Amino acid sequence: MINTVLVGAQWGDEGKGKITDLIAHDYDYVVRFQGGNNAGHTVVHGDTKLALHLMPSGVMYDDVVPVIGNGVVVDPGVLIKEMAMLSAEGIDCSNLKISADAHIIMPYHKDLDGADEKSLGANKIGTTKRGIGPCYQDKIARKGIRMQDLLDEKIFRLKVKTALSQKNPILQKIYGLHTYTVEEICEEYLPYARILRPYIDETTELLNAAVREGKSILFEGAQGTLLDIDHGTYPYVTSSSCCAGGAITGTGIGPKRIDRVLGIEKAYATRVGGGPFPTEQHFAEDGGVGEEAEVGETLCSVGHEYGVTTGRKRRCGWFDAVVGRYAVEVNGLTDIALTKLDVLSVFDTIKVCVAYECDGERYEYFPQQQSVLFHAKPVYEELPGWKGVDISGCRTFEELPENAQRYVKRLEELTGGRISIVAVGADRDQTIFRDWYRDEN
Ligand code: GDP
Ligand code: IMO
Ligand code: MG
What structural domains does the chain harbor?
4-102+203-261 (3.40.440.10), 103-196 (1.10.300.10), 264-440 (3.90.170.10)
> Across residues 269-273, what is the average pLDDT?
96
> Across residues 55-70, what is the average pLDDT?
95
For the chain, percent of residues with pLDDT exceeding 90: 96
Residues 6+ apart with CB under 8 A from 392: 342, 424, 425, 430
Distance between Cα 302 and ligand 3 center (Å): 17
Q: How confident is the model at residue 45 (pLDDT cuts 50, 70, 90)?
A: confident
DSSP at 106: P
Which has the minimum average pLDDT: 44-53, 242-251, 357-366? 44-53
Which has the minimum average pLDDT: 152-161, 165-174, 303-312, 380-389? 303-312
Looking at the CA of 421, name the nearest ligand. Answer: 1
Distance CA 220, CA 324 (A): 19
Q: How confident is the model at residue 308 (pLDDT cuts 50, 70, 90)?
A: confident
Q: How confident is the model at residue 309 (pLDDT cuts 50, 70, 90)?
A: confident
Atom of ligand 2 nearest to the CA of 128: 12
Residue 39 pLDDT greater than 80, yes or no: yes
Active site residue ranges? 13, 41
The 10 Å Cβ neighbour count of residue 85 is: 15
Residue 232 pLDDT greater than 90, yes or no: yes
Residue 63 pLDDT greater than 90, yes or no: yes
Q: How confident is the model at residue 441 (pLDDT cuts 50, 70, 90)?
A: confident
Atom of ligand 2 nearest to the CA of 35: 13
Residues 6+ apart with CB under 8 A from 306: 300, 312, 313, 314
pTM: 0.97
Atom of ligand 1 nearest to the CA of 44: 16
Question: In this structure, which residue's CA is closest to atom 16 in ligand 1?
Answer: 426
Distance CA 363, CA 61 (A): 45
Looking at the CA of 264, name the nearest ligand. Answer: 1
Residue 398 pLDDT greater than 80, yes or no: yes
Distance between Cα 35 and ligand 2 center (Å): 9
Identify whether the C-beta of residue 8 lies closer than 8 Å to the C-beta of residue 223.
yes
Burial of 223 (0-12, 13-18, 19+ CB in 10 A): buried
Atom of ligand 1 nearest to the CA of 425: 24
Tell me the pLDDT tens digit for each residue of 169-222.
999 999 999 999 999 999 999 999 999 999 999 999 999 999 999 999 999 999
Residue 1 pLDDT greater than 80, yes or no: no
Burial of 47 (0-12, 13-18, 19+ CB in 10 A): exposed
Q: How confident is the model at residue 123 (pLDDT cuts 50, 70, 90)?
A: very high
**Which one-letter amino acid corresponds to residue 91?**
I
Q: What share of the chain is helix, strand, coil (3-state, %, to 5)?
A: 40, 20, 40
How long a stretch of residues is the chain? 441
Question: In this structure, which residue's CA is closest to atom 16 in ligand 2?
Answer: 238
Distance between Cα 121 and ligand 2 center (Å): 19
Residue 59 pLDDT greater than 90, yes or no: yes
For the chain, percent of residues with pLDDT exceeding 70: 100
> Across residues 237-264, what is the average pLDDT?
98
Residue 403 pLDDT greater than 80, yes or no: yes
Identify whether the C-beta of residue 184 lies closer than 8 Å to the C-beta of residue 178.
no
The 10 Å Cβ neighbour count of residue 42 is: 18
Half-sphere exposure of 253 (CA within 13 A, CB side): 30
Residue 274 pLDDT greater than 90, yes or no: yes
Burial of 244 (0-12, 13-18, 19+ CB in 10 A): buried
Residue 439 pLDDT greater than 90, yes or no: no
Question: In this structure, which residue's CA is closest to atom 6 in ligand 1?
Answer: 13
For residue 219, the model assigns a pLDDT of 98
Pocket test for ligand 1, best of 339, 390, 431 (most atoms within 8 A of CB): 339
> Across residues 267-288, what is the average pLDDT?
96
Q: Which residues are near ligand 2 (CB < 6 Å)?
A: 8, 12-13, 38-41, 125-128, 130, 132-133, 222-224, 227, 238-239, 272-273
Residue 310 pLDDT greater than 90, yes or no: no
Pocket test for ligand 2, best of 55, 272, 305 (most atoms within 8 A of CB): 272
